[in-house]
A and B are shown apart, each in its own frame.
Chain A
Amino acid sequence: MNTLAAILWKDIINELRTKEIVLSMAAFSIVLVVIFNFSLVINNDNIGYLVPSLLWISIIFVGTLGLSRTFAIEKENSAITGILLSPIDRSMLYLSKVISNLIYILITQFLLLFLFVVLFNININGEVGLLIIVMILGAIGFSTLGTLFSTMAINTKLRELLLPVILFPVIIPVIINAVRATSIIFNGGGYAEISPYLKILICFDIIFLVTSALVYEFVVEES
């Protein structure tokens, strides 16, 4: 746990000093929502179906940008090699990276949600708690898998291009269920309607977390 805390502390301190990950993600979020707002005709008939899709598309685009940046910092001066030289459990490195990526994604996710709610005049019908749970479960799925794939892409020349190409197809189950659950909440549904989607999201989060932690050693050692 000491190792996990040390790596997490290092990532957070680094981000607090530079603010480059969260700021770039936030700026991209604002641009995306403003473009959607000007380019789409959203009315009461389609708001409950269109906005959840746009919200999650924005989350995966912005999240991918953040994932690329987190590992770009590790590549500077080959600092990650310094970590890999030490006898730490590679799954601890993975977990710490998942947590730091999760923090960055959650921050921008709630910024995106706020922008969508304000600009598209969405009524969440008091189901804020449920929506937060869906957002967190979606973010966990994205960061568990995103951390693994961004580590794979770290040493490739086209890593910014490669990451979405390998990540998006695999993350589809999480995104589909998150979009459906969000859509139900935006259309006035409650826990009973979204509980199947929540269960699927929890299952995928656990599967992605466990399998990624198990294979991370082989991925990071070869990268």
Chain B
Amino acid sequence: MNKGYIHIENLSKSFGFQKVLDSINLQFDKGDFVTLFGPNGAGKTTLIRILSTIIKSDEGSISISDYNIKNEVQNIRKIIGLLSHENYLYQNLTVFENLKFFGKLYNIKNAEESISCKLNKIGVYSKRNELIRNLSSGIKQRVSIVRSIVHDPEIILLDEPFVGLDIKGSEYLLDIFKEFKKENKTALVTTHDLRLGLHECTKVVVLNEGQIKFNDRVENIEIDKFEETYKSLIYS
């Protein structure tokens, strides 16, 4: 069997007595743009955090770009970017200082030019010299988006990226998604917004109570009827 670019096999994770992920099997190809839907507590964030190497699974195996997450974790970290609920930014550093700092951790070349370009794309270049603590949550979220892609990762994991973004911010993010697709990058996005989630995706996965309830390519889905399908999957 051909292994995918991201290969997840029998993945399980519990917190205490609560099983959050239960024998998950998933496979994504390079360039896949996957939207992960699911109600609160479905296990979406846990899955994203395991893939990003922040937490470890209890059982199962994951390989990303042929690297095994257990013993080649540093290689995986080089090619993964994560946007999470928390922004991971230092309150008392400016936007630019934060991004330059995170850029240095990845040894990126031409950091200033690359960061300025990304800040422009997300519409916060004018805020580059402001301290994070003085920014609104929406602007922080935009800066955090730049932080997650500061090293031009091959794989981007976005956990509810639209939260806190205004219409303009969401448009900027969708433009970035288009760019990812053009560059054949792989993305895994979690969201509750069916419209935004289906916008650019190539594959849809529905997770509920730690189990995969739906996993198919977008061309096999009737977009207009997906809301009904989704409701039947999570409320049945």
Contacts and interface: CB of A to CB of B under 8 A. Distances in A.
A155 interface: no
Contacts of B87: 77
B177 to A, nearest CB: 20
B102 A13 contact: no
A57 interface: no
B14 interface: no
B93 A14 contact: yes
Name the prevailing secondary structure of the A interface residues: helix
Contacts of A77: 86-91, 132
Contact of A3 (B90, B91, B92, B104): B104
B93 A13 contact: yes
A88 B105 contact: yes
B104 A2 contact: yes
B52 interface: yes
A16 to B, nearest CB: 9
B88 A6 contact: no
A87 interface: yes
Interface in B53-105: 53-54, 74-75, 77-78, 80, 82, 84, 86-93, 97, 101-102, 104-105
A77 B223 CA distance: 37
Contacts, number: 66
Contact of A79 (B52, B54, B77, B89): B89
A76 B88 CA distance: 8
Given A82-B147, A86-B102, A17 B89 contact: no
A78 interface: yes
Contacts of B226: none
Interface string A7-35: 00110011001100000000000000000
A216 to B, nearest CB: 15
A88 B84 CA distance: 20
Interface in B119-149: 131-132, 147
Contact of A85 (B82, B90, B92): B82
Return the 9 tightest CB-CB contacts between A and B, nearest first: A82-B88, A86-B105, A6-B104, A87-B77, A78-B86, A87-B74, A17-B92, A87-B78, A14-B92
Given A14-B93, A77-B132, 10 more contacts: A6-B104, A13-B92, A14-B92, A77-B86, A77-B91, A81-B84, A81-B88, A85-B77, A85-B82, A86-B77
27 contacts: A2-B104, A2-B107, A3-B105, A6-B104, A6-B105, A10-B93, A10-B97, A13-B92, A17-B131, A73-B90, A76-B90, A77-B88, A77-B132, A79-B88, A79-B89, A79-B90, A81-B54, A81-B84, A84-B54, A85-B53, A85-B77, A85-B80, A85-B88, A86-B102, A86-B105, A86-B106, A87-B74
